[in-house]
Structure 1
Amino acid sequence: MTALAIVESRADRASVHICDQLRELADWEVVDDDTRPAADGGGTYYRTAGAELRSFDDFHLELEHPVEAFDCDPDVLVFASRHSGDTGPLLTGHFTGNFGPAEFGGEANAVAEACPNALAHLLDAFDEYAPEQYDVGMECTHHGPTNVGCPSLFAELGSGDEQWDDPNGAAAVARAILELRAVSPHCDRLESASRSSHESRDASPCRQVVGFGGNHYAPRFTRIVRETPWAVGHIAADWALDAMGHPSSHRDVLEAAFDASHTDMAVLDGEWPVLEETLEELGVRIVSETWLREVGDRPLELVDAVESSLGAVDDGVRFGDCAAESVAVVELPAALLDAAEGLDPEAVRTVVEATTVAFTTENGGIRVGSQVAVPSSNGESSNTGDTTATQTIAAESETTARGAIIEALAGVLEDKYETVTLEDDAVVAERTSFDPALAREIGVPEGPKFGALANGDAVAVDGETISPETVRSQQTDRFPI
């Protein structure tokens, strides 16, 4: 169970109300600490399974290194706080720090250690417990403290007097905070052969990103947290980047944001060419929201292999359902693919997703492209250790995978054709269909009567009834493979 430290500020009445609810919701042991002043977390405090609650006189943003007051060696520290703004009833969470001057606590150009996974779970808990009239959101990084002593976040009740005194809102925040006792501060770690690393960073960063740009309430980064397996650490909103100044002159705070977020990946909301250049010089991998959505929880080594061999996700590459340690790119027969997509594009996409690791797309991602990545046995050792034998096994594996896709695409044609045969070098499809030449021969005028016959309806020409069977012929289409 995560060791959770909870900070109450007596100067913040919303904080007091939230912590009153906390004391009601859990079975706490009341403890007295005479080693610290009551104004600084000492005196009476509270312990329960996985959590410790201490009270301070100062506002939260003025509390530097509050972790020193706690006995529990916390994994995560939560500031139970008010939120101020013209945002109506709102439950929100954020990390602390200053990308520039320190106008409201903390140090300039410094950030506290973030806990992105905990914030993602806090938002989920807010969703579960928020009263009906409350919205739920997250904010960019702002204000102090910057020296907390462990990963931390603000859990806030807002946005004005009415909400700060609302027991239902306070109870919702309290319940959400208690949920964090079962949550790690960071997401799972990534593995990637192509990932750059910083000496001060762990060898494997987490499935988390740092955000840049956007407004204070971070809609793009909220979507990422809500709708993907990725979490978001520090966020420097538009106004914070303006306050920071030229990125190349503030590399220290940029690097600190990545270190504190346990990642070396970033998402930019908007056009920030100088920032982008600076981040790339720092070895940061810049990805898009689309990239995060499409990559999901796939191993980064697999993603790197796909992008290096098939193409970039941002250029339309999409992932299938197959997993593999290595991939090979194969070409699908264009005529067969076009014919199948013309009949049932959804069925074609289902086929390709089910049988590939990844595939290209066209027309803005609507149509499946002709190149796909399939699992490859390349690199796996054969029983003999013979390189030629290994290559043969790999080629056979790729041929088998391609053949399975072709067979499935041929199956799509069966909705249009009476017989579909898979030969060594082609898919042969046959059907009996309306023959315009036969219709002309017997005097059927082109136009609506052609359409009626093609649809299987009889027509009258010069008083004679022409049945659709009269103007049908055998059609054979051959799709080379």
Structure 2
Amino acid sequence: MKNGKMNDKILLVSSLVDPAGSLIHEEIRRILYENPVLQEQYQHRQFDERLIYIEPSSLTTDADLIIFLSRHASKEPRSVLTVHVTGNFGNAVFGGNPGTLTPAATDMMHAILNRLAKEVPEGYEVTYEATHHGPTSLSIPSCFVEMGSTEREWKDRNAATAIARAVIEAEPEGVISLVGFGGTHYAQRQTEITLTTRGGFGHIMPTRDLVYLNQAMFDEMVSSSGAEAIYIDRKSVTRDDIERIEEYASKRDILIVGQSDLQNMIYISLSDYRHIKRLTEESLAGSGITIHGKIQGSDLTPITIPSDLLFEATKTDPEEFTAGIKSLPIIHLSGKGIAFYPTFITNQENALRITNELIHLCVSILHRNCICRFDGDCLIITKEKFDPGKAASLGIPPGPLFGRLMAGEVVLHEGREITPSMVKRMTEKKICIPGWGT
């Protein structure tokens, strides 16, 4: 759920029977002792039992969120630092209640995971885990932060210090709250998204638990995570399950986003992005979008430049065109094998300026690579092209010699030197650009 740390009170919970959680807690206390100004923000509680079996009533607190400090255990040993929220999609095998989810500290998990990625000791990996185990039915947002998964890692003070620093230094900011579907217990795709975008996950339902998914559980995942959108790891989920999730999302009226969508949302809010997606569908249904510059989501309008001008410029030097639009406050549309459609989207106040800048960029690319002139409002592009007919008239057979001549090489054929200019012809193309004539 939406939670920050600026003024939040945080309850740190560990178990005396857990060597890893106790060591992490010890390191946090040490850091706080060295930084007294931070101490009032934290409350501390240690239990004599395993954390997964704690009753919610024993966690009564005036804190804003709870962070459980714990060991991580696995049937397949690995050196790992993890974060996750608790809950049971199905049976309560390891504490808590069946079919019950806990409010997720979504923003805090995003911040902690990113700090862990910076602090992680050599040999460890950092990852989300899918939602699992107790305690459940908590009233305030929480998360587990763990290290494992063997006794060697549980006693590793360097790993404990890394977690302690991550917990204390984590500062949630601008997180887009998500729930995730699909993947394995160690949520690789969701972790990658959180480490590269503003997208942060609350509850994550792995592929194995999709059997428990219905509309009620979907809604509970969304509300318990404070989710603004959902993400589906489509490569790990069947077509039938994808359609089922899409149906639940439609009934909930919540947006489904992919990794590329989240990468687009560097400077804009999710609500603005939804507006952009709607406008994109109206302008060119089914197209993909790439957002450049610091475009704002309101007061957007489509603009169009001559399609033949864009085609010639991007065919001549696609890298220069791509670099040229990178800093412009525009959205470019693509799809169906077309890298750039001639329709772009920008803010209304920038529409005329951006249209002119796009045209100027295209014309500049063509001027540098071709012979160009204006005839009224029309750009005349003159190009030299290889002429197979001329080559054949000189007795040159199709094949390697054609390729060498096209590459600008002089070739020798039947004792005669053939230059590229001897097999070229001049072509002209006229592109009309209203208002751009001399």
Structure 1 and Structure 2 fold alike (TM over 0.5): yes
CA displacement at 1:452 relative to structure 2: 6.1
Are the structure 2 counterparts of residues 451 and 165 from structure 1 closer, same or farther at C-alpha, using a change threshold of 3 Å?
A: closer
Deviations 1:6-37 (A, max 9, x none): 1121122221222222333331799xxxxxxx
Separation in structure 2 between the aligned mates of residue 172 and residue 466 of structure 1, nearest angstrom = 70
Q: Secondary structure at the match of 1:141?
A: coil
The size of the alignment, in residue pairs, is 415
Are the structure 2 counterparts of residues 215 and 427 from structure 1 closer, same or farther at C-alpha, using a change threshold of 3 Å?
A: same
Q: Which amino acid aligns with 2:358?
A: I
Separation in structure 1 between the aligned mates of residue 232 and residue 386 of structure 2, nearest angstrom = 56
Structure 2 partner of 1:78: 67
Structure 1 segment 405-424 matched on structure 2, within 5 A: 405-418=358-371, 420-422=372-374
Structure 2 partner of 1:129: 119
Contact 2:176 2:270 in 1 (8 A): no
Q: Secondary structure at the match of 1:430?
A: strand
Separation in structure 1 between the aligned mates of residue 104 and residue 270 of structure 2, nearest angstrom = 22
Separation in structure 1 between the aligned mates of residue 124 and residue 358 of structure 2, nearest angstrom = 49
Structure 2 partner of 1:259: 223
Choose which of 349, 357, 378 in structure 2 pairs with 1:404.
357
Separation in structure 1 between the aligned mates of residue 359 and residue 407 of structure 2, nearest angstrom = 29
Q: Secondary structure at the match of 1:156?
A: strand
Structure 2 partner of 1:476: 428
Choose which of 215, 231, 236 in structure 1 pairs with 2:184.
215
Q: Which amino acid aligns with 1:327?
A: L
CA displacement at 1:428 relative to structure 2: 2.0
1:319 aligns with 2:291: yes
Separation in structure 2 between the aligned mates of residue 449 and residue 104 of structure 1, nearest angstrom = 73
Contact 2:176 2:228 in 1 (8 A): no
Are the structure 2 counterparts of residues 62 and 341 from structure 1 closer, same or farther at C-alpha, using a change threshold of 3 Å?
A: same
Are the structure 2 counterparts of residues 421 and 355 from structure 1 closer, same or farther at C-alpha, using a change threshold of 3 Å?
A: farther
Contact 1:139 1:218 in 2 (8 A): yes
Separation in structure 1 between the aligned mates of residue 418 and residue 244 of structure 2, nearest angstrom = 73
Are the structure 2 counterparts of residues 66 and 438 from structure 1 closer, same or farther at C-alpha, using a change threshold of 3 Å?
A: same
Structure 2 partner of 1:390: none
Structure 2 partner of 1:18: 24
Separation in structure 2 between the aligned mates of residue 258 and residue 435 of structure 1, nearest angstrom = 63
Contact 2:198 2:265 in 1 (8 A): no
Are the structure 2 counterparts of residues 27 and 472 from structure 1 closer, same or farther at C-alpha, using a change threshold of 3 Å?
A: same
Separation in structure 1 between the aligned mates of residue 207 and residue 401 of structure 2, nearest angstrom = 64
Q: Percent identity among equivalent residues?
A: 26
Q: Which amino acid aligns with 2:373?
A: T
CA displacement at 1:424 relative to structure 2: 5.3
CA displacement at 1:129 relative to structure 2: 2.6
1:294 aligns with 2:264: yes
Structure 2 partner of 1:375: 347
Contact 1:111 1:256 in 2 (8 A): yes
Choose which of 310, 318, 334 in structure 2 pairs with 1:345.
318
Separation in structure 2 between the aligned mates of residue 400 and residue 20 of structure 1, nearest angstrom = 59
Q: Secondary structure at the match of 2:368?
A: coil
Separation in structure 2 between the aligned mates of residue 82 and residue 345 of structure 1, nearest angstrom = 52
1:224 aligns with 2:188: no
Separation in structure 2 between the aligned mates of residue 15 and residue 353 of structure 1, nearest angstrom = 47
Are the structure 2 counterparts of residues 453 and 145 from structure 1 closer, same or farther at C-alpha, using a change threshold of 3 Å?
A: closer
Structure 2 partner of 1:58: 49
Separation in structure 2 between the aligned mates of residue 212 and residue 467 of structure 1, nearest angstrom = 62
Deviations 1:161-206 (A, max 9, x none): 22112222222222222224xx24xx53xxxxxxxxxxxxxxxxx6
Separation in structure 2 between the aligned mates of residue 99 and residue 105 of structure 1, nearest angstrom = 12
Are the structure 2 counterparts of residues 478 and 238 from structure 1 closer, same or farther at C-alpha, using a change threshold of 3 Å?
A: same
Structure 2 partner of 1:237: 206
Separation in structure 2 between the aligned mates of residue 15 and residue 456 of structure 1, nearest angstrom = 70
Q: Secondary structure at the match of 1:16?
A: helix
Contact 2:83 2:129 in 1 (8 A): yes
Separation in structure 1 between the aligned mates of residue 165 and residue 147 of structure 2, nearest angstrom = 12
Q: Which amino acid aligns with 1:265?
A: A
Structure 1 partner of 2:436: none
**TM-score scaled by structure 2?**
0.82
Separation in structure 2 between the aligned mates of residue 465 and residue 155 of structure 1, nearest angstrom = 75
Unaligned residue ranges in structure 2 (runs of 5+): 1-5, 434-438
Q: Secondary structure at the match of 2:356?
A: helix
Separation in structure 2 between the aligned mates of residue 326 and residue 404 of structure 1, nearest angstrom = 20
Contact 1:3 1:51 in 2 (8 A): yes
Separation in structure 2 between the aligned mates of residue 266 and residue 210 of structure 1, nearest angstrom = 5
Structure 1 partner of 2:244: 274
Q: Which amino acid aligns with 1:348?
A: F
Contact 1:64 1:145 in 2 (8 A): yes
Q: Which amino acid aligns with 1:254?
A: F
Contact 1:328 1:398 in 2 (8 A): yes
Q: Secondary structure at the match of 1:414?
A: helix
Choose which of 161, 172, 177 in structure 1 pairs with 2:162.
172
Separation in structure 1 between the aligned mates of residue 113 and residue 161 of structure 2, nearest angstrom = 15
**TM-score scaled by structure 1?**
0.76
Are the structure 2 counterparts of residues 21 and 429 from structure 1 closer, same or farther at C-alpha, using a change threshold of 3 Å?
A: same
Separation in structure 2 between the aligned mates of residue 337 and residue 261 of structure 1, nearest angstrom = 44
Structure 2 partner of 1:34: none
Q: Which amino acid aligns with 2:290?
A: R
Are the structure 2 counterparts of residues 215 and 96 from structure 1 closer, same or farther at C-alpha, using a change threshold of 3 Å?
A: same
CA displacement at 1:214 relative to structure 2: 1.6
CA displacement at 1:472 relative to structure 2: 6.8
Are the structure 2 counterparts of residues 472 and 290 from structure 1 closer, same or farther at C-alpha, using a change threshold of 3 Å?
A: closer
Contact 2:218 2:248 in 1 (8 A): no
Q: Which amino acid aligns with 1:105?
A: G
Separation in structure 2 between the aligned mates of residue 450 and residue 92 of structure 1, nearest angstrom = 60
Unaligned residue ranges in structure 1 (runs of 5+): 31-46, 189-205, 378-396
Normalized per residue, the structure richer in helix is 2
Contact 1:67 1:150 in 2 (8 A): no
Q: Secondary structure at the match of 2:24?
A: helix
